Structures are given as structure tokens and as C-alpha cells.
Amino acid sequence: MAFSAMMLVALGIDALLGWPNALFRTMGHPVTWLGRLISALEARLNNEIASGSQRRRAGVATVAIVLAAVLVPSTLVHLSLPEGGLGLIIGGVLAWPLIAAQSLFTHVRAVARPLAAGDHGAARAAVAMIVGRDPSGLDTAGLSRAALESLSENASDGVIAPLFWGLLLGLPGLAAYKAINTLDSMIGHKSERYADFGRAAAQLDDLANLVPARLTGVLIACGSRHPGRSLHVMRRDARAHRSPNAGWPEAAMAGALGVRLSGPRIYADRISDEPWLNGSAPDPGPDTLAAGLRIYVRAMALFALLLGGLAWFPL
């Protein structure tokens, strides 16, 4: 079965529909279902008085249980898909909820519009929906940076990475990636509570994103007006980022737009002194954020063309 065509169907449906509010109110979303399972396992298995090694083993068990919970049904469904076009369409519809291309665009646009109008209060409220840092003290440049960084990183985590694993392994690969990424977002933090328990989840997420993050950086560069500069900044600065993967699309976006990203930021419980990406460049602003959204759309369109090419001319 041509997984590329299946993923193209999923991306196309998401680009057109997103995940409608009516569906969310009626049935929630697969990621929220995963979140409830992870929360239940964490509450039961993450014993605060246990030793570090015990908590690490409990974290490995949590990862194994969650992966089994998604791999068994997704594999059974995948194997039962009919051959031909009907199977591709059904598979694409089933993959659709796990792609977040439109949602990401909508959430970042919700920052860009009030920021362009000078409404910092609304922009801060919108930024708080997509980043973990404290937005209360962010100025125009800080709000623009936060939104651009979220756009770049989540272009990989929310769109390219799930499609990449779906392209390789079909529905089971897509479902497993979303489980891994959700585990990391919930228990992969380097806090006292999750330092040991979430270690396996964080390491597995780093591994799962190695190729997609770099591919996303290349797509961002190719979707920009300055691909050479974007690729240069990505190669030069990506490894300075705290994450082994997020720095690649973020540095590519910084180079593409000719601005600096990352840098020091304030979270609820700490100040994080992060290095700059493209640090000699000026700060971004509302116009830059709008340009970043256009680059994002072109990058996703390029990947759709790649999927279409693979479907038409399978390797």
C-alpha cells in the first residue's frame, strides 16, 4: 500500500478542515485520549518516595504500556484496510486527526493578528496557548520570537514528523510517533518530578525526531526567499539549541527571516538562559511573524508535493 498517498490524503483533509470544534466537543481528540491514559499511569506509577532507578523503570513501563495501547489497535486496523484507492482514503481519514497543520497555523495567526494591531494583551493570551514560558512580560519582539519558535518547532513535531513516520510505517508508525511525542510533552520535562520517570520518554522523542526536525529545517529553507542564508544559519547554530532537534527548524526560520530567535526566557519556575540563534540579526516583529506564516505554508506545500511525487513514482 502506498503510504505516501495515505499521508497526502490526511494532510489534505487537515489543511481543509483542521479538527472541527463540533468533533472535539462530541468525541474529544486522540491526543486528549492519550493524555488521560498517560496521566493515569503517571499518577499510579511515579512514586515520589521511590529511588531514581525505580522511577526510571516505572517510566519505561509507562512508555511501553502507552505504545502497546496505540500500536495494537492501529496495526490491526492497518492490516484490515482494503486494497487500492478505498484503503488509501480510509487510511487517510484515520490518520487525519493526528496531523496538526491547520491548528498550528491558526494558533500562530491568533498571535500575529492582534500583535499587528498593537493589542499586546490579546497577543499574550494567544501566545500562552502555544508556549510554556511566562508571556506576561513579553514585548513585541518577545511575542514575535515565541510565536515563530513555536511555529518552527511544531512544524516538525505536529506535521512533518507524524507524516514522516506514517510515510515509513503507515498508521502504526504515525500512531506510535504521536504517542511518543505526547509522552514527552507530558512527562519528558527536566523537573524534579520527571527527571527520572520521564527520561525514557524524552530520549525516545529525541530519537524519533532526529530526521524529521532536520527535514523540516530544509523545507523551511526551501520555502523561503533566502534558502542559502537559512541553510547556513541552520548548519551553524542549530546545535547550540538546548534541544537536539528543535534547533534545526528554529535556526532555519531565523536564517530565512534574517532575525534572531531563542535567547533567554522566563518560565513559571525558572529563568532559562538560552543561546541566541542567528544572534547578530535584529529582533523579529509583527511583519516578520506574518512572513514566517507564509514560509510555513510554502514548506508544508513542498512536503505535500514530495508526498504526491512519492505516491506517483514510488521508490
Report the pLDDT value the prediction gives residue 267, as an integer from 0 to 100.
Answer: 60
Instruction: Express as a percent the part of the chain with pLDDT over 90.
Output: 85
- 69-88 residue pLDDT tens: 999 999 999 999 999 999 99
> Which contiguous run of DSSP H or E holds residue 297?
helix 286-312
Lowest mean pLDDT among 47-56, 149-158, 176-185, 224-233: 47-56
Report the pLDDT value the prediction gives residue 266, as an integer from 0 to 100.
Answer: 63
Report the pLDDT value the prediction gives residue 113, as an integer from 0 to 100.
Answer: 97
Name the residue with cell 518577545.
Answer: 142
- 285-300 residue pLDDT tens: 999 999 999 999 999 9
| Stretch 92-106: mean pLDDT | 97
Q: For strand 276-277 and strand 261-262, is the pairing parallel, antiparallel, or unpaired?
A: antiparallel
Contact 118, 133 (CB under 8 A): no
**What nine digits make up the cell of 45?**
506509577
| Distance in angstroms (rounded) separating the CA atoms of residues 117 and 292 | 17
Tell whether the model's pLDDT for residue 10 goes beyond 60.
Answer: yes
| Stretch 187-214: mean pLDDT | 94
pTM (2 d.p.): 0.94
Length of the chain measured in residues: 315
Tell whether the model's pLDDT for residue 133 goes beyond 80.
Answer: no
Contact 155, 299 (CB under 8 A): yes
- 263-275 residue pLDDT tens: 877 665 556 678 8
Within 10 angstroms of residue 118's Cβ, the number of other Cβ atoms is 10
Report the pLDDT value the prediction gives residue 135, as an integer from 0 to 100.
Answer: 85
* Long-range contacts of the stretch 236-243 (C-beta < 8 A, 24+): 237/277, 237/278, 237/279, 238/277, 240/275, 240/277, 241/274, 241/275, 241/277, 242/272, 242/274, 243/153, 243/206
Position 68 confidence tier, pLDDT thresholds 50, 70, 90: very high
Tell whether the model's pLDDT for residue 248 goes beyond 60.
Answer: yes
Tell whether the model's pLDDT for residue 190 goes beyond 80.
Answer: no
Q: What is the DSSP letter of 47?
A: -
More confident residue, 255 or 26: 255
113 exposure class (CB count in 10 Å sphere: 0-12, 13-18, 19+): middle
Report the pLDDT value the prediction gives residue 24, as an integer from 0 to 100.
Answer: 86
Report the pLDDT value the prediction gives residue 271, as an integer from 0 to 100.
Answer: 63
Within 10 angstroms of residue 293's Cβ, the number of other Cβ atoms is 19
Tell whether the model's pLDDT for residue 1 goes beyond 80.
Answer: no
More confident residue, 64 or 49: 64
Contact 260, 280 (CB under 8 A): yes
Q: Which regions of the chain does DSSP assign to beta strands (E)?
A: 261-262, 265-266, 271-272, 276-277
Report the pLDDT value the prediction gives residue 274, as an integer from 0 to 100.
Answer: 83
Tell whether the model's pLDDT for residue 147 goes beyond 60.
Answer: yes
**What nine digits make up the cell of 225?**
526567499
